[in-house]
Structure formats: structure tokens, C-alpha cells
């Protein structure tokens, strides 16, 4: 995981614990004050929201606990690996595309960040400039040629 991705995850976790959790706890307390809990929709909705929040917090703590922050200085740019930016020619679309290979937690297609575990990420990993990669995606097989690799 990149340092920025790690810090963003830490910040989001802190927000969930220090802002969202107390908000939901207050909503539960207010709903509880309204009387009979068996027929109190607000109470049940707030409890369900708290359950989802706690699951998200647990998931994030697990990711952070097993995360390994990678230093960009140590990245080998002779081949595609995590943290590299790779420019490819998408043969199916006949178009150049730029991807940054990242961990699953940091993936964001709109930002051009693809997971190393995604079909395209897996196909590109280890490839060198000039090599071709074929990715089996839900839209079918896609062929890419690696044009450049950088940080």
C-alpha cells in the first residue's frame, strides 16, 4: 500500500470512530427515550446502522493491521509491479491508457488506479516494456501492450 493510501485509511478510520460512532450512539439514545423499543423503527434503524459501521471499522482495522507500506524509492521500474504507473495500448479499444497498480484498498478506476488483484492488474504484473498482456475481464479478453513504466 502507498503511504498516501495508508494515511487516507487511517484518517477515515479515525473519522468513523470519533465522529460517526458517537452520532449513531446519540441517535440510539434519543430513540430509546421515546419508549417501547419493540415498535420503534428509529431505534432499530440506528442499531442496524451501528452494526454496519462496526463491521466497516473492523474491516478497516484488519486492512491496516496487515498493510505493508511500500517506499516508491525501492520500486523496480523495469517491469510492472505495485506502485508503478504503466502506460498501455489497449488493443481492443485501440487507445492508450495509463494505470497505476495499487493494493485492493486503494483501487479507484476513476482515478486510474487498478488493483494488482484485478484481471487487468494480474495480467500486467511482471510485464516489461514492449510485452503484451491478455486480461480475462467480464467484458471478454482484452489485450494490452506495455508502452512505458514509471513511478
- pLDDT digit string (tens) for 59-82? 889 888 877 787 767 777 889 988
- Which is more confidently placed, 39 or 78? 78
Fold topology of 72-150: Chitinase A; domain 3 (3.10.50)
- The CA dihedral of 89, 95, 99, 105, to the nearest 10 degrees, is -120
Q: What is the pLDDT of residue 92?
A: 84
Q: What is the pLDDT of residue 17?
A: 94
3-state helix/strand/coil string of the chain: CCHHHHHHHHHHHHHHHHHHHHHHHHHHHHHHHCCCHHHCHHHHHHHHHHHHHHHHHHHHHHHHHHCCCCCHHHCCCCCCCCCCEEEEEECCCCEEEEEEEECHHHCEHHHCEEECCCHHHHHHCCCCCCCEEEEEECCEEEEEEEEEEEC
Residue 98 has pLDDT above 90, yes or no: yes
Q: Is the pTM of this model over 0.85?
A: no
Residue 93 has pLDDT above 80, yes or no: yes
- Percentage of the residues of the chain whose pLDDT score is greater than 70: 99
The CATH class for the domain spanning 3-66 reads mainly alpha
Domain boundaries along the sequence of the chain: 3-66, 72-150
Q: What is the pLDDT of residue 5?
A: 79
Amino acid at each position: 500500500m502507498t503511504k498516501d493510501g495508508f494515511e487516507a485509511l487511517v484518517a477515515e478510520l479515525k473519522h468513523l470512530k470519533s465522529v460517526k460512532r458517537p452520532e449513531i450512539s446519540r441517535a440510539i439514545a434519543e430513540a430509546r427515550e421515546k419508549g417501547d423499543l419493540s415498535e420503534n423503527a428509529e431505534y432499530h434503524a440506528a442499531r442496524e446502522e451501528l452494526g454496519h459501521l462496526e463491521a466497516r471499522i473492523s474491516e478497516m482495522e484488519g486492512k491496516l493491521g496487515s498493510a505493508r507500506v511500500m517506499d516508491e524509492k525501492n520500486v523496480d521500474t523495469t517491469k510492472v509491479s505495485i506502485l508503478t504507473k504503466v502506460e498501455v495500448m489497449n488493443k481492443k479499444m485501440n487507445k492508450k491508457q495509463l494505470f497505476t497498480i495499487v493494493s485492493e484498498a486503494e483501487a479507484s478506476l476513476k482515478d486510474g488506479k487498478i488493483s494488482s488483484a484485478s484481471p487487468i492488474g494480474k495480467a500486467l504484473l511482471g510485464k516489461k516494456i514492449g510485452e503484451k498482456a491478455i486480461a480475462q475481464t467480464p467484458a471478454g479478453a482484452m489485450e494490452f501492450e506495455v508502452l512505458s513504466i514509471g513511478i
